[in-house]
Every structure is written in structure tokens, then in C-alpha cells.
Structure 1
Amino acid sequence: MQDTIAPPPITGDRTLTIQASPGIPIYIYATIFASFCVITGLIWDICWHMSIGRDGLLSPPHLVIYLGAVVAGLFSGYEILRKTFFGNDIEKAGSVKIWGFFYSSLGSLFCVWGALSMLTSAPFDDWWHNTYGLDVTILSPPHTVLVLGIIGIQFGAMISVIALKNQMKLFRSFAEEKVRALDKTLFWLFVLSAGFLLTIWFTLLSEELGRMRTHRSSYYIFAGAAFPLLMMAVGKAVSHKWAITAVAGVYTGLMLGTLWIIPLFPAEPKLGPILNHITHYQGFFFPLLLIVPAVVIDILRYRFAHWNDWELTLLLGVAFLAVFFVVQWFFGGFLMESPYARNWFFGSHYWYFANDPNWEYRYKFGPWMVEETPELLKGLGIALVLTLISTRIGLAWGNWMHKIQR
């Protein structure tokens, strides 16, 4: 790897260039927009499969996804070429060197790789459909390539923002008000990028995190292994009391927006068998109540900020799993069984067109959906171990992001 990406030494003159920086580069905004496009397009694509069935290479959801890939690739690629051929020595000193020739920020590098991966997946996915038919899982081979590209773009967007935010202490020639305004803008751009990444995190695991699984320990095993990783990293990366809550709020808002808006549009199945006759799009999931443990974690990490990371791992990991288990267990029961959840707000009445709408367990837990107490407790023990591991890795990742400036 050292022969592939080698950061050149940073000279003392670097501070002078950063002092003269005019503000936030346009490619930062472009990558955030691209990140938004790919996650909303992906959720729309899932709703398309639930409501219409077969899609084509240039279906509307795919076009939104490809738009995100093209925007991220073009703007980040331009930034790499600009630094390589027209950047001064100080700009190059603050970049990573690729293949001994190109100069790039780490975020731009991930965005370009992600865009190439996404665009490569498009013809692969079309061939897959023509050869094997409709996908039965979210993570089919072409979708896996697509998802890796999406994560690359979203991770690149987040790294681009946090790297620039970490350079704010070098903007000494700016007025103090200007520095504060830029720092605030960068914080919210970081929150948006991290919130979009959290949403794709959930989307990838959505088959394991449906409301029918909320009374099984596997639900909390997957959640504990996945979500603290990013949530703790966000909390460590930025110095803001409510950073994790804000990111969870972006995830919640995006999930609610797609749940409430997409079903407003007409859609009819075009692939048999059709057991559930629908006339409009079926919505995706109501968001997990991650915002509740996010608030608790933000309060605890602020209150015990003087603790070391190992102590915080135990405190925050246990707090996340305990709070998430309590709120999601009861809320999952509400979504599954309550007639008050069968409306546009909660969306528990949405149903795949190829499933029998009169299935007896559509609105109640089947015997296989509920574990006995010993089995549940054993599973929760596994969930706790994975939550602690995820929390510790997340804190370490956050420490790295807090220092990155390239």
C-alpha cells in the first residue's frame, strides 16, 4: 500500500495557503448532493421492486442513483486533476499521492472509486436481471458492487467534510465570525453526510431489521453490531454535544420523507404473480428509533467526557443496547399488531404485491417470530458483546477522523 498511496511531507508553508482559502470548495457540496441522490434513489428502487416488480437499466430510481455517481465522480475527479496538474506545492503537500503521480484528498479518492464501482454495477445488474430474473435479496452480486460504490461515495463525502473541518484551526487570517460560520456549516454538512451513511447502513440490513423480527434476539445482534460503529465514530469526530442525535435525526427525517412521499405516486405491478392488488407505491420502513439511544449516548458522553475510551466503551455500549432494546421491542409490537400503525404515518399496512394480503400473520407475531426467554437472553448476551466491540471500534475510528486533515 505504501507504493500506491504515499502522503508527501507537510511543509510549514501549508498554513499560509489554508489561511488564504476562500471557503468551502464546491466539490464538497457536490459530494453531499451525490450522497443524497444515491440513498434516496436506492430506497426508491426498493419501493419500485415492492410495487412494480421488474425494472430496466434506465428506470427512474436507477437514473437518480447514476446521477449521484456521475456528480461525485466528475467533481471529485476534477479536483484530483486540478491538484495534479495545476495545484501548487503546498496544495500537493496536503494531499495523498496515488500511483506516484496523482494528488488527491482522501475523500475525493473514495468518491472516484465509489463512482466507478457504481457505474460498473449498472450493466452488471442489467445482465443479471436478463439472465436470472428478479432479485430475491437486496444484496445480489450486482447490488453488492453497487452498495460498495455507494458506501465509497458516502464515506468519501464524510471524510472530505471532516478533513476540511479539522483544518479550521489553521484559518487564522479570517475574522473570528467567518471561522465560526464556516465551522458551523461544515458541522451540518458532516451531519448530513454521516446521516446518509447511517441510512445506507440500515438499508443494507433492512431484511434483518423488519418489524416482524423485533421480538427475536437476532434483531438486536445485527443492530448492536452495526449502528454503534458509526454513531460512536461521529460523536468522537466532532466536538458537539448533540452530534450523534443530529445524525440520527437526519436518518429519521430521510426515512420518514421517503415513507410519506413515495406512496403518493401511482404504481401497479407489472410482474406476476399479483396477490396484493395495489394502485400506489408501497412505502419502505418506518425508521428505527435510533434517535432515542442517540440522545442518551450524547448526554452520557458529555457527562463523562473525562473517561478514557475503554470506560466509555462499557458505558455507551451497554446504554445503547439497553435503550434500543426497550424502545424497539415495544415499538416493534406496536407496528406489528396495532391498527393505529396501519396508516400513512407509520406505514405498517404496506405490503409486497406478490404476498398474500390475507396472510394470518400479517399483523401478528407468528410462533417462530418470538423466542423463549432463555434463548432470548442468550442472544442478547451475544448482542452485548458485539455492541461493545462495535462501540470500541467506533471510538477508535472517531479518533482517527478527529485528526485527519487530508
Structure 2
Amino acid sequence: METTINQSITTEKDFSSSSKLLLAIPLYVYVSVIASMCVILGILWDIAWHMSIGRDGLFSAPHVVTYIGAAAAGIFSGYQVLKTSFWGNQLEKGKMVKFWGVFYSSLGGLFCIWGGIASLTSAPFDDWWHNTYGLDVQILSPPHTVLLLGLMSVQMGAMIAVLAFLNRSEKISSLSAEENTKRTNRLQWMFIFTAAFLITSIFTFLSESLGRWAMHSPSFYQVASAAFPIFLLATGRASGKKWGTTYICFIFLFFHWVVNAVLRLLPVEPLLGPIHNQITTYQTLGFPLLLFIPAFAIDWLRDKLSAKNDWTMALMLGVIYTVVLLVSHYPFGTFLHESPLARNWFFGSNSWSFQNDADWEYRFKFGPWNDKPLSAWLTGILLAVVYSIISSRIGLAWGNWMKQVQR
């Protein structure tokens, strides 16, 4: 009987501790993190829908998931603005950004509100576009571009909303020292997850240039070297964890793979002709990039160069990122695009839109346009290194700014 009572007391203490930790971080911050996940989940599902079914309606399932995420972020952030502006005390208002002379909001909340409005506004624009011009053949159509920018604003808002609390280094009086440490760790991981969701969006945004068929082309390394270091270094530095960039890239890899792997199990049939590839399950984007490999090199080198100035760090990090990316992804591209071992549910290299010719001769091999002379490769990789250095320097500066965000 005494053992049972002790166990009950322990359970109540654990529950009380968890509840206090939850209450120590505002609800709108949790909602923004979940919204960040929902919007990219909806985007990946929508792409698979276009590849597998064809025309979608304004309120198709993927669109609804995206709308819910964007709307939730905007509504909860908007409520927080009104609550702080009209019912908040001076201490609460002092932690916010004042705008229009009346309202008080966190910087992350402003991003979420704008992103939610832009995302929902793009929905009827996208529906009109389909009704006027038919099915999109590219990810970056005008309405999709507006949508993606709005959704990425929501994700940026989620990141900054978490950062504001993380950077204040507040000690909540109602929490013990151990609970305050757990709260800080929770905020760090919330930030890492939001950063991973943003990286997933960046990759999806650029997937037409970063597919497996492009991994034997210098342009792949130029795009990847310009696009990713800025985000990886900024978020890795702001995370406050030694291996922050690596954690972010592992979560990106796992999340992107899980969403598409689950979709590839679901039955579906095309509803728009002509059908050149008979399919019975969802077709999706291919296997994600192995960004955790250059990310590991970045984190290791960033720690070793911590005493150096940012210009020196950017130079060395930019070079190592591109070199590791090339060494890891050129052979990985060979495997994904040409090996029969990659044509399965796990790697998804056999995913092919119903609109594409199933018997295209270059479906599973690189085309002659990938045969570049050595001089073209040297020039292309040199440009990629330059892009990477510039991107790394901006990323380090952005990371410094992120570490100062407290509103």
C-alpha cells in the first residue's frame, strides 16, 4: 500500500513538473511549431497529389492541411497581439515589438500573421490559375511561389518565436533550477525542429534543380552551395548546440523521408488524362539530400574555428561544405538514379508521375547532357565554392543576429 502511495506521489510530481514546463512557454509558440510542420506536410502531400492524381480542388486534403497550419499560426499569433496590446501589462509589452502605434507583437508573431494571410490569399489565386491554365507542370508557378513564400514566412515566424524565449535566458521563478534547464533544452529542440521544417521547404522549393538526375551536373552543386549554407550556419549557430546543424539535417532527412514513404504506401489512381504511366499508389519526390554529411563537417570545423573571425570561418566552411557535398552526392546520385537497388519503396527512385513516359530511356540513367568536360566541371565547382563562401558568411552574420533576438 505504501509503495502504491509513493508511486502515486511520484507520478503527480512528474505530471506537475511537465505541466509547469508547458505553461512556461506560451501556447502560441507551440502552435507555431506545429503549424510549421503542417504547412510543409501539406506541400509534400500536394506535390504527390499532382504527380499521382492530377487536378486538385480548392479544398483538397493536402490544401486543407496547409490552410490549417497557416491559419492556426496566424490566428493564435493574432490573438496574442490583441491580448498583449489591450490587456497586457507594461512588462509584457516591453518584451514585444510595437507597430502602428497601438499594437504589440513578437517579431515571430508578425511573420506568422503575414505568412498566414499570404498563404490563404494564394489559395483562390491557385484555383483560378488551374481553371485558366490547367494543371501545373512546375513547382514554381506564380500562385505556388506566393504560397511557398507565405508558408516559409510562417516557418520563419515559428523559428523566431522560439528564439525570442530561448535568447532571453529567463529563469522562471515558479520552476526549479532543474526545470529551468529542461525548459531551455526544450526551447533549443523546438528551434531545431522548426529549422528542419524550413530546410525541408527550401529543398522542396528547389527540388526541380536538386533531384537525383542533376547530381552529375555542376549546376546541382552551385544551387546547393548557394542555398543551404546560409540557413544551416545561421540556424546551427543560433541553436546553441555544438551539433545543432547536424541535428537539423537529420530531422530534415527523417521528416522528408517519412512523409513521402508513407504516401507511397497509399492507393490512388490518376483522374486526369493523358496517362502515360499506370500507377496504383502515390508517386512522390525522391530521396532527400544527405545534408547531414556536410553538416557534420560544418559543425566539427565550426567548433575547431571558434576562436577565428567570421570571414576566416566562412572561407574554410564554404570550401569544406562544397567539397564534402560533391564527394558524398556524386556517387549517391549514381546509386539513386541508376541502381536497381534504389527502385523500391524505401528510396523511391521508381516514383514517376502518371504524366511521364514510363519507358523513357533516361528514366534510370543519366543523359548525354550530363557529360561535361573537365574544364566545365572545374569552373562549375569553383563557382559553387564561391557561392558557398558567400552563403556561409551571410549565414554566420544571420546567426549572430538570431542570437540577439529577444522580442
Q: Normalising by the residue count of structure 2, what TM-score does the alignment of the two structures yield? A: 0.93
Partner letter of residue 163 of structure 2? I
- SS of 1:403's partner is coil
Answering whether residue 274 of structure 2 is matched by residue 273 of structure 1, we say yes
CA distance in 2, matches of 1:171, 1:298: 31
Alignment of 1:25-64 (within 5 A): 25-64=26-65
Q: Which residue is 1:102 aligned to? A: 103
Spell out, residue by residue over 1:313-344, the C-alpha distance to the aligned partner (whole angstroms, 9 max, x if none): 01111111110111010000110111111111
Spell out, residue by residue over 1:206-245, the C-alpha distance to the aligned partner (whole angstroms, 9 max, x if none): 0001111111110001000000010000122132111001
Q: Which residue is 1:236 aligned to? A: 237
Answering whether residue 222 of structure 2 is matched by residue 221 of structure 1, we say yes
RMSD (Å), alpha carbons: 1.4
CA distance in 1, matches of 2:365, 2:182: 51
CA distance in 2, matches of 1:322, 1:237: 24
Alignment of 1:173-188 (within 5 A): 174-188=175-189
- 8 A contact 1:275–1:353 mirrored in 2: yes
**Bigger shift: residues 279-288 or 38-47:** 279-288
Q: How many Å apart are 1:91 and its aligned residue? A: 1.1
Q: Which residue is 2:308 aligned to? A: 307
Q: Which residue is 1:118 aligned to? A: 119
- 8 A contact 1:258–1:284 mirrored in 2: no
- 8 A contact 1:258–1:283 mirrored in 2: no
Partner letter of residue 332 of structure 1? G
- 8 A contact 1:255–1:285 mirrored in 2: no
Alignment of 1:6-405 (within 5 A): 23-169=24-170, 171=172, 174-405=175-406
CA distance in 2, matches of 1:361, 1:22: 55
Q: Which residue is 1:14 aligned to? A: none
Spell out, residue by residue over 1:255-310, the C-alpha distance to the aligned partner (whole angstroms, 9 max, x if none): 11012100111111111110100011012220101011111111111122111111
The count of corresponding residues between Structure 1 and Structure 2 is 387
CA distance in 2, matches of 1:142, 1:362: 29
Spell out, residue by residue over 1:51-94, the C-alpha distance to the aligned partner (whole angstroms, 9 max, x if none): 11111101110010001011111111111111111110111111
Identical counterparts, % of pairs: 53
**Bigger shift: residues 186-195 or 164-173:** 164-173
CA distance in 2, matches of 1:371, 1:348: 24
**Structure 1 runs not aligned, ≥5 long:** 1-20
**Bigger shift: residues 23-32 or 296-305:** 296-305
Spell out, residue by residue over 1:344-384, the C-alpha distance to the aligned partner (whole angstroms, 9 max, x if none): 11110111111111111111111012322111111111111
CA distance in 2, matches of 1:69, 1:278: 31
CA distance in 2, matches of 1:22, 1:356: 54
- 8 A contact 2:246–2:292 mirrored in 1: yes
Moved over 3 A (4+): 169-174
- 8 A contact 1:215–1:369 mirrored in 2: yes
CA distance in 2, matches of 1:387, 1:304: 17
Spell out, residue by residue over 1:157-189, the C-alpha distance to the aligned partner (whole angstroms, 9 max, x if none): 000001100112454774321211000100110
**Bigger shift: residues 166-175 or 291-300:** 166-175
- 8 A contact 2:44–2:260 mirrored in 1: no
- SS of 1:358's partner is coil
CA distance in 2, matches of 1:87, 1:154: 26
- 8 A contact 2:192–2:239 mirrored in 1: no
- SS of 1:361's partner is coil
- 8 A contact 2:171–2:180 mirrored in 1: no
**Bigger shift: residues 39-48 or 257-266:** 257-266
Partner letter of residue 60 of structure 1? A
CA distance in 1, matches of 2:234, 2:195: 10
- 8 A contact 2:234–2:397 mirrored in 1: yes
CA distance in 2, matches of 1:268, 1:64: 21
**Bigger shift: residues 203-212 or 166-175:** 166-175
Q: Which residue is 2:17 aligned to? A: none
CA distance in 1, matches of 2:350, 2:264: 12
CA distance in 1, matches of 2:170, 2:158: 21
CA distance in 1, matches of 2:36, 2:175: 30
Distance 1:173 1:315, change over 3 A: farther
- SS of 1:206's partner is coil
Q: How many Å apart are 1:145 and its aligned residue? A: 1.1
**Structure 2 runs not aligned, ≥5 long:** 1-21
Q: How many Å apart are 1:139 and its aligned residue? A: 1.2
CA distance in 2, matches of 1:46, 1:235: 29
Q: How many Å apart are 1:119 and its aligned residue? A: 0.5
- SS of 1:264's partner is coil
- 8 A contact 1:53–1:269 mirrored in 2: yes
